[in-house]
Amino acid sequence: MNSKLLQPNGFMPWEKNPECFRINKAKPHSDIIPFPTVEDALSWNKEARDITDLNGTWKFRFFENPDQCDEAYPQGLECLMDTHNWGHIQVPANWQMQGYDYPQYVNVKYPWEMTEDIMPPEIPRVYNPVGIYSRTFTADKADGGRLFLRFEGIESCGEVYVNGNFVGYSEGSFTPAEYDITEFVKAGENQLVVKVLRWCDGSWLEDQDFWRLSGIFRDVYLYSLPEVYVSDWRVDALLDEDYQDGLLTVEAEVEGNTDGCLVQMELYSSKGRQIGETEAENVTDGKAVFHVEVDTPWQWSAEAPVLYTVVLRLIRKGQETILASRCGFRTFEMKDGLMMLNNKRIIFKGTNRHEFGAEFGRAITKEAMLADVLAMKRNNINAVRTSHYPNHPYWYELCDEYGLYVIDETNLETHGTWTYGVPEDQQPDVLPGSNPLWTGAVLDRVADMYYRDRNHPCVLIWSLGNESYCGTNFREMADFLRAHDKTRLVHYEGQHHCPGYGDVTDIISTMYTPVSEWVKYAEGNPEKPAILCEFAHAMGNSCGSLDKYAEAFDKYPKLQGGFIWDFVDQAILKKDEDGREYLGYGGDFGDDYTDGIFCGNGLMFADRTETPKIKETRICYQNIAFEDIDWENGEVTVRNKCLFTDLNAYRLVWSLYLDEEKTAEGELETACEPGETVKLKLPLGRLPEGSFMEAFLNMEVQLKEDTCWAKAGYAVAKGQFITGSREKLQDGKKTGGSLKVTENFSTLIVTGSDFEYRFSKRSGDFYSIRRNGREYLKAPVECNFWRASTDNDRGSKQTYRSMIWRYAGANAAKWTNKGEISPEAVEIDMKFILPTTSQAVMDTKITIRRDGSILFDNTYNGGENLPDMPEAGLMFILPESFDRFQWHGRGEHENYIDRKASAFVGTYQAKVSERMVPYLMPQECGNMTGVRRLTIAGRNGGSLTFTGFPEVEANVLPYTPEEMELAAHQKDLKPSEKTVVRINYRQTGVGGDDTWSLNARAHEEFRIKGDGTYHFAFEVKPE
The catalytic residues are: 467, 534
Distance between CA atoms of residues 775 and 615, nearest Å: 38
Round the CA-based radius of gyration of the chain to a whole number and report it.
33
**Taking the CB of residue 402, how many other CB atoms lie within 10 A of it?**
18
Burial of 243 (0-12, 13-18, 19+ CB in 10 A): middle
CA distance 870 to 1009: 9
The rounded distance, in Å, linking the Cα atoms of 287 and 492 is 33
Q: CA quadruple 604, 610, 611, 614: dihedral positive or negative?
A: positive
Handedness of CA 241, 243, 245, 246 (dihedral sign): positive
- State the DSSP H helix or E strand holding residue 441, giving kind and residue range, or none if neither: helix 439-453
End-to-end alpha carbon distance in the chain: 83
SS3 state at 1013: strand
DSSP secondary structure code for residue 868 in this structure: P
The H or E element containing residue 366 is helix 366-378
Cα distance between residue 946 and residue 962, in whole Å: 23
* CA dihedral over 346, 349, 355, 360, signed as positive or negative: negative
Contact (CB, 8 A) for 991 and 539: no
- β-partners of residue 532 are 510, 562
Question: Backbone phi, then psi, for 835, in 5-degree steps?
Answer: -80, 70
User: Residue 877, exposed/middle/buried by CB under 10 A (0-12, 13-18, 19+)?
Assistant: middle
Measured CA to CA in angstroms, residue 507 lies from 465, 540, 626, 688, 830 at distances of 14, 30, 31, 55, 60
* CA geometry: angle 580, 585, 588, nearest 5 deg: 65
Strand partners, 241: none
Structural element, H or E, at residue 375: helix 366-378
DSSP line for 390-413: ---HHHHHHHHHHT-EEEEE-S-B
- List, as one string, the DSSP characters of 845-859: EEEEETTS-EEEEEE
Q: Give the contacts of 661 (CB within 8 A, at least 6 positions apart).
A: none
Candidates 211, 217, 199, 218; CA nearest to 103 is: 211
| Torsional class of 362: left (φ above 0), alpha (ψ -120 to 50), beta (otherwise) | alpha
**Cα–Cα dist 993/511, whole Å:** 10
User: Which region, left, alpha or beta, applies to residue 247 given φ > 0 means left and ψ of -120 to 50 means alpha?
Assistant: beta
Instruction: Give dist(CA 452, CA 390) in Å, integer.
Output: 9
CB atoms within 10 A of CB 651: 18
Residue type, 52: T
| CA 491 to chain centroid | 20
Which H or E element spans position 69? helix 66-72
Distance, CA of 210 to chain centre: 13
Q: Distance between CA atoms of 1023 and 1018, rounded to whole angstroms? A: 16
Q: Which residues contact 773 (CB under 8 A, 6 or more apart)?
A: none
Contact 73, 67 (CB under 8 A): no
Q: What secondary structure does DSSP assign to 281-298, as a single string?
A: EE-BTTEEEEEEEESSPP
